[in-house]
Structure 1
């Protein structure tokens, strides 16, 4: 719809996800890749920026590596739809030798450092000539007699959609560097049944729907990679070396909120001309979840993933968007609803930087919110005006609308997700 933004993942089937439906997996293996020449360039960029803007500081951020969407379907459910059938027919002439060997390492996904596949009772699928692949049987499955999903068909489908099987049965995962993963309709219309995929992360909670694989990064790395004048070369090198153009990028995870008042108006803020990114454009309240909020008493440069409890990180992910609303719009936390995660959007003006977009309702009217905004909050200097659009106007916002060109990429991504998810519907 717009070259500046795309949707990596949306939570439409659930009308958005609550905090209890989300978990994170933290590991150093989800950090960006490094090499000496790049590190020198990052240091040079940072030194130059701090010299001209001495108020800058290098804050720690969470790095989004990938996301995993878990689906619950009966074990005898088959993959359906023309996409699946077409993919199988297209691949029939060149069948995959052993799909289970490729689980978690399909083209477009960076093999995780130090990762080892653990297979439990999986039979290699090396069918005979002229054998119908849909009739292949796994003699040692994971609790079922027949691998009803036909693993080869599944792998082809995932590769075609820009999705890949990741952690356990019934799982789809989207990698931020996949163009096809940005087709939101494809991501939600195609689900995987139970099959004999590798069993890892067995401690996943029963009600978990979405898992984010997170590492650590920082603002300095973001300026030196995603905002680097050589970012295209970095992405090309990442693709060559690791099959993932984002391998060398910081990819800090942001948060944003479609904030709706009790009288059905959505809040937009006019960004200050003094901010570094998208000055003067309309934005939504937002910022970043902060590792330092989870790991208090430790300097930002010293924070390690081992010090970050996963449940506390999820809590920070959801609470940080409320904090941003409080600081930017000056609305008390007591007036804000529980955030609902609509999905993840990508900002292509900063090399596909990801942002988790939420829906938050407010118990105040637009008039009351406007009054609080002009009284000023802790981050009032980041914006110069507040604008309200009624819900119907927001739902009609599209690329052809005059106001669309005034939205910054993060606001565009949030609006697209709001169109797709509609978390305010009963």
Structure 2
């Protein structure tokens, strides 16, 4: 596998996982472990980045700690003869973090040191890292092409690379009416966090590609990929079908959406070519790690 990526979780079924198959567990146990001697470095690093890129802004994010599959069980059957298994559920264990801490840990020059200390001191290489959970969309048009975007040179991560539509689920979308810098886990509903996880990827397509929500089918979770170039930062990758053709999608894109400044061009790749994309060394090298992870998961799961 490409060293830029690794797979944290893969759907066990070619159907992927729908929203009703996912559960979230929120706890402060799943927050980043602070290291006092690095907190000043994190703050200083963020200040320097903001001076260089005034359009950067901090924000609350969900921190992924771990993910596991478990069996859902029904109530007692008639006659009291045991319990009946109903299917597989994915449980995501989440805390809170922020974009500033992501840039000062996962994306910092000392990220590898933090990973080594986490592994040695706590048995968890990611314990001292921000680990904000991202989302990404393998978006398939009605004429069987996937949608990719060429990232702007002004974005903070992977400038100029080819990516998929994506971003982050937002705690502020769940804790409505609470100032973002004041959001705590107690303000969040686990059920609403699952809804936000699945809706946020649709919202990113709407805002980055300018597609109407009614043209998008319900997201199917393919799995979670890690970006090893940012110390294993994780992103939930979804498969989403669109009722529009490539030409129609292109028309909407060039009209421009709320986040049009994040990309400079739209790229379409046929489904059969996406399945062989790793064999195309030149194009594969142009993909940012988040796109590589999503393509890899799609190739492994191949949802029908």
Task: Determine if the alignment matches structure 1 residue 334 to structure 2 residue 214.
Answer: yes
Aligned to 2:114: 234
Distance 2:279 2:229 in 1: 16
State the alpha-carbon separation in 2 of the partners of residues 389 and 400 from structure 1: 12
Q: Which residue number in structure 2 is paired with residue 69 of structure 1?
A: 69
Which residue is 1:372 aligned to?
Answer: 252
Partner of 1:5: 5
Q: Is 1:27 the counterpart of 2:21 in the alignment? A: no
Which runs of 5 or more residues in structure 1 are unaligned? Answer: 74-142, 145-204
User: What does 1:155-304 align with in structure 2 at a 5 Å threshold?
Assistant: 209-304=89-184
Question: What's the secondary structure of 2:63's corresponding residue?
Answer: strand
Question: Structure 1, residues 226-262: CA drift from partner, whole Å, max 9, x if none?
Answer: 0111111111111121011111000000000000001
Aligned partners of 2:93 and 2:264: how far apart in 1?
36
Which residue number in structure 1 is paired with residue 281 of structure 2? Answer: 401
Q: Under a length normalisation based on structure 1, what TM-score does the superposition of the two structures give? A: 0.67
Cα distance change on mapping 1:311 and 1:70 into 2, 3 Å: same
The answer to whether the 8 Å contact 2:118/2:124 transfers is: yes
CA contact (8 A) 2:72 2:87 kept: no
Structure 1: how far apart are the matches of 2:159 and 2:266? 15
Residue 51 of structure 1 deviates from its aligned partner by 2.5
Question: 1: CA distance between counterparts of 2:277 and 2:4?
Answer: 15
Within 1, Cα distance between the matches of 2:300 and 2:288? 19
Conserved in 2, the CA contact under 8 Å of 1:62 and 1:253?
Answer: yes
Which one of the candidate residues 404, 408, 414 is aligned to 2:294? 414
The C-alpha deviation readout for 1:134-155, integer Å capped at 9, x for no partner, is xxxxxxxxx99xxxxxxxxxxx
Q: CA deviation at 1:312?
A: 0.3
Structure 1 residue aligned with 2:78: none
Aligned 8 A contact 1:23 1:208 in 2: no
Structure 1 equivalent of residue 77 of structure 2: none
- Whether the aligned pair in 1 keeps the contact of 2:135 and 2:168 (CA below 8 Å) is yes
Do the aligned residues in 2 keep the contact of 1:18 with 1:339 (CA within 8 Å)?
yes
Partner of 1:354: 234
User: C-alpha deviations, 1:302-336, integer Å up to 9, x for none?
Assistant: 10011100010000000000000000001000000
The answer (yes or no) to whether the contact 1:64–1:212 under 8 Å persists in 2 is yes
Instruction: Specify which structure has the higher proportion of strand.
Output: 2
Conserved 8 A contact 2:71-2:86: no
Tell me the equivalent position of 1:60: 60
Structure 1: distance between partners of 2:279 and 2:248: 31
C-alpha displacement of 1:281: 1.1
**1:14 to 1:396, Cα distance in 2 relative to 1, 3 A:** closer
> Which entry has the higher C-alpha Rg, 1 or 2?
1
CA distance in 2, matches of 1:278, 1:326: 21
Q: Provide the rounded CA distance (Å) in 1 between the counterparts of 2:54 and 2:153.
A: 18
1:207 deviates by: 5.3
Counterparts of 1:228 and 1:411, CA distance in 2: 21
The root-mean-square deviation of aligned C-alpha atoms, in Å, is 2.0
- Cα distance in 2 for residues equivalent to 1:283 and 1:406: 9
- Scaled by the length of structure 2, the TM-score of the pair is 0.93
How far residue 43 of structure 1 moved from its aligned partner, in angstroms, is 1.1
1:363 and 2:254 equivalent? no
Q: What's the secondary structure of 1:371's corresponding residue? A: helix
Deviation at 1:401, TM superposition (A): 3.4
Counterpart residue number, 1:80: none
Contact 1:294 1:312 in 2 (8 A): yes
Structure 2 SS opposite 1:209: strand
Contact 1:225 1:249 in 2 (8 A): yes
